[in-house]
Amino acid sequence: MRTAFFRAVMDAASIDPRITLIVGDLGFGVVEPFAKRFPAQFLNAGVAEQNLTGVAAGMALMGRIVLTYSIANFPTLRCLEQIRNDVCYHRTNVKIVAVGGGFAYGALGVTHHATEDLAVMRSLPEMTVVAPGDPIEAELATRAIIAHPGPCYLRLGRAGEPVLHESGVDFELGKAIQLRDGTDLTIISTGGMLATALDAATQLDVRGISSRVLSMHTLKPLDEDAIAAAARETGAILTLEEHSRIGGLGGAVAEVLAEIEGIHVPFRRIGLPPGFAPLAGSQEYLRAAHGLGAESVVQTVLNLLEIAPA
């Protein structure tokens, strides 16, 4: 996803000199091509994220379109006050880009686990929150947030996520993308869990369970129409995210379902417990340890639909 993001940013910066990238002294394997090509549109603010965000807000107030970039926790939680008061309150054209959502930096421990960021960013006034599911969505999401006026948060993976879309994608902020249709169940995924959602749906096919799969790439504004349609047209709904079950995709979908009159559908949230991970390791290892593998998803579906395992 990082490569797709930088490809889109460089294309946009070559057309619009207002586009400016500010980084927190990291990622130079992917950052350096931008810095060399657009030196007047690049700034390394160092390991000083509060200052980074304040500078970004000031530049945006002077007419720039500014993207801040760092490992997920640092451009979000470390400088939350600046995001709230400088970026959101003034509705500045700042796009906060976080690389490594969830357990992408799992081996570095809790300080680098981004497991509350979606909930925090989603709660901020004026903030648009986006977590693309594959490189194609990442590139389209980057172009969309640059064009969108006002604050945005873009959560990217860094694990070499596979391309999952087979043809042209009609990408629009606030509109989910349906990758599969089905009637027994809807799996709603956000961010890098999309591949797992599709894998689980394939395994469920073998059991005769028809699964709709939605990529909910935008958590705010949320596609409430897609959720309502899933509640009307399929037998159950399950959310899947590499994030705390509190306040992220699962919480957002639950809020919508709770207020739909006359429709009651079985619902489960698959995500992380609201605590610090007691383990460190690769992203794959930590996902498996927290029940985020396709097999665990399938078992949750079977329990939800009350079908005995084969």
CATH code of residue 114: 3.40.50.970
Q: Whose CA is closest to 161, among 27, 284, 270?
A: 284
132 vs 154: CA distance, rounded Å:
8
Residue 276 shares a structural domain with residue 138: no
pLDDT reported for residue 168: 77
What phi and psi, each to the nearest 5 degrees, are found at residue 39? -60, -30
Residue 152 shares a structural domain with residue 252: no
Is position 165 within any domain? Answer: no
228-260: pLDDT as tens digits: 999 999 999 999 999 999 999 999 999 999 999
How many helices (H) and strands (E) the chain has is answered by: 11, 12
Total number of domains in the chain: 2
Regarding beta strands 211-215 and 177-180, do their DSSP bridges make them parallel or antiparallel, or are they unpaired? Answer: antiparallel
Residue 40 shares a structural domain with residue 83: yes
Is position 162 within any domain? Answer: no
This prediction's pTM: 0.96
Which stretches of 136-191 are assigned E, i.e. beta strand? 152-156, 177-180, 185-189
137 vs 165: CA distance, rounded Å:
9
Is position 169 within any domain? Answer: no
Side chain identity at residue 16, one-letter code: D
Side chain identity at residue 243, one-letter code: H
155-175: pLDDT as tens digits: 998 868 899 997 778 999 999
Residue 51 shares a structural domain with residue 139: yes
pLDDT reported for residue 288: 94
Residue 210 shares a structural domain with residue 297: yes
Is position 163 within any domain? Answer: no
Residue 6 shares a structural domain with residue 151: yes
Residue 152 shares a structural domain with residue 220: no
Is position 166 within any domain? Answer: no
Regarding beta strands 211-215 and 185-189, do their DSSP bridges make them parallel or antiparallel, or are they unpaired? Answer: parallel
168: left (phi over 0), alpha (psi -120 to 50) or beta: beta
Please return the burial class of 262, using the count of CB atoms within 10 Å of its CB with bins 0-12, 13-18 and 19+: exposed
pLDDT reported for residue 54: 98
User: CB–CB of 247/272 below 8 Å?
Assistant: no
* Domain range for 38: 2-156
Q: Which residues of 199-238 are buried (b: 16+ CB within 10 A; e: fewer)?
A: ebbebbeeeebebbbbbbbbbbebbbebbebbbeebbbbb
CATH code of residue 239: 3.40.50.920
Is position 56 within any domain? Answer: yes
> Dihedral (C-alpha) 98, 178, 249, 206: value to the nearest 10 degrees?
-110
Is position 172 within any domain? Answer: no
79 vs 34: CA distance, rounded Å:
24
pLDDT reported for residue 310: 60
Q: Which residues of the chain have pLDDT under 70?
A: 159, 308, 310
